[in-house]
Structure 1
């Protein structure tokens, strides 16, 4: 199918943290339009094969499932695109007391609304957190939610992007320093996986095989972990305790469904 329009819905993963565009070395928290990400990469490829292609990205970092369903899903429904991506719930699962069964019911209702427009809908499982020291403690909760997503995808005839099976994403070289968001390599892999699911050729492959890494000195690893706690984990916990979000005050980077070409050199 040649898609003529695409709307991306979600949180930081879909917004594109931390994948800066060509010609930049990064972006600050307030520069939401400075990130590319897998969704932009997919839109750029779809725009290459379909003249007049239109794209909107409504995702905002830090948003919870309920917020995405309340604020972004209705906008996507109104836009009536050919293709909608919907990935949400990761920020909820990181919070104590989150219920993957309740979350799945909320997500299913939103998927039903999105599919009622006639659009193809992309759903996502997350990456297996077993290699992440903190998140692996709640691996069962993540797995339960992702199994629900598989069931919802089957029930409503969605296209499923299974990141759990992407072994290349289990390597830290696919992730940025905060260990929560993918870097350029990770976003490229996800974009290639999405295009594969859509049946659109891509120059990239999601089946990345990383070269072996040199052994890391144990003391250096401890210093690296301590630095991560100071620079990333502690601020994240501080925001949770204060009720703040990294997305507070930020607007979507592409709020309107408008023509989009992008940088054809990236895929």
Structure 2
């Protein structure tokens, strides 16, 4: 099988969708609307939003989100993959390996080998398996040095997607996300608007009609004065960078002790 042909079949009466991954797929930092019925403090994110778009086109959508923040690819494959296969969904999205690449010594070749084995198992179920590349971090001063490793990993991901006939959401080419307004205060996770635009891109890849254009230019914005920008950088380093480094050094994860927000295929209301 080579290359993804066509879109998702929206003529079905029921579509089941399972999302696998880490904080990116869990939906940090996109708070769920208060009137959505979600538990307090839960995040929404692009995967929830995708399920909502599907529900506008298909009579019944059953959705599970197994993603947990901070998880490494071996944890995703060990904990989430068996459950996804057990649920036997029509659609699977998998974005994994980013946390491995961010860590010192993270080898994109080794991570890609694990990712390929996971995609092979998912594709064997007959599901449509959506693969995501990594972001281009060239615009982020702290993450810029990882650009080469991410590019290498992305080449592996594209080859894997081609081999197993997977649609690809190319985050690297989404220049619209290289605006600071696409990112939350921690500079590691998308903002609500970033998640909204990404959802539109995923819908485009899958052939799901959705209103809006993810490429729409951002409104003009006055650049920050250098003093204000410096203060923002210092605040970010104190509130987000230092704790993140501390977790890496101590082997802790932001997802320790957390369960998936939607562990079962449930009808989207």
TM bin (shorter chain) = over 0.9
Partner of 1:159: 167
Partner of 2:229: 221
Q: CA deviation at 1:208?
A: 2.7
Aligned pair 1:188/2:188, yes or no? Answer: no
Cα distance in 2, alignment partners of residues 86 and 8 from structure 1: 6
Cα distance in 1, alignment partners of residues 198 and 124 from structure 2: 26
Cα distance in 2, alignment partners of residues 220 and 131 from structure 1: 19
Q: 1:32–1:149: structure 2 CA closer, same or farther, 3 Å change rule?
A: farther
Cα distance in 1, alignment partners of residues 259 and 187 from structure 2: 24
Cα distance in 2, alignment partners of residues 198 and 103 from structure 1: 26
Task: Check whether the contact 1:33–1:253 (CA below 8 A) recurs between aligned residues.
Answer: no
Partner of 1:204: 212
Q: What whole-Å deviation, never above 9, does each CA across 1:220-259 have from its counterpart, x for those lacking one?
A: 1111101100000000011111111000010000000111
Partner of 1:241: 249
Q: CA deviation at 1:213?
A: 2.1
Considering only aligned residues, what root-mean-square deviation do their CA atoms show, in Å? 1.5
Which aligned runs of 4 or more in structure 1 are off by greater than 6 angstroms?
none
Partner of 2:16: 5
For structure 1, list consecutive stretches of 5 or more residues without a partner in the other structure: 262-267
Cα distance in 1, alignment partners of residues 146 and 206 from structure 2: 31
Q: What is the count of residue pairs matched by the alignment?
A: 256
Cα distance in 1, alignment partners of residues 81 and 31 from structure 2: 26
Cα distance in 2, alignment partners of residues 33 and 8 from structure 1: 20
Cα distance in 1, alignment partners of residues 192 and 174 from structure 2: 16
Q: CA deviation at 1:33?
A: 6.2
Aligned pair 1:49/2:61, yes or no? Answer: no
Task: Check whether the contact 1:123–1:161 (CA below 8 A) recurs between aligned residues.
Answer: yes
Task: Check whether the contact 1:32–1:253 (CA below 8 A) recurs between aligned residues.
Answer: no
Q: CA deviation at 1:186?
A: 0.5
For structure 2, list consecutive stretches of 5 or more residues without a partner in the other structure: 1-8
Partner of 1:132: 140
Q: What whole-Å deviation, never above 9, does each CA across 1:9-57 have from its counterpart, x for those lacking one?
A: 0000000000012238xx9xxx786100000000011112112210000
Q: What whole-Å deviation, never above 9, does each CA across 1:142-181 have from its counterpart, x for those lacking one?
A: 1100111111110100010011111110001011000000
The answer to which of 209-218 and 247-256 deviates more is: 209-218
Aligned pair 1:86/2:94, yes or no? Answer: yes
Partner of 2:66: 58
Partner of 2:25: 14
Cα distance in 2, alignment partners of residues 134 and 65 from structure 1: 23
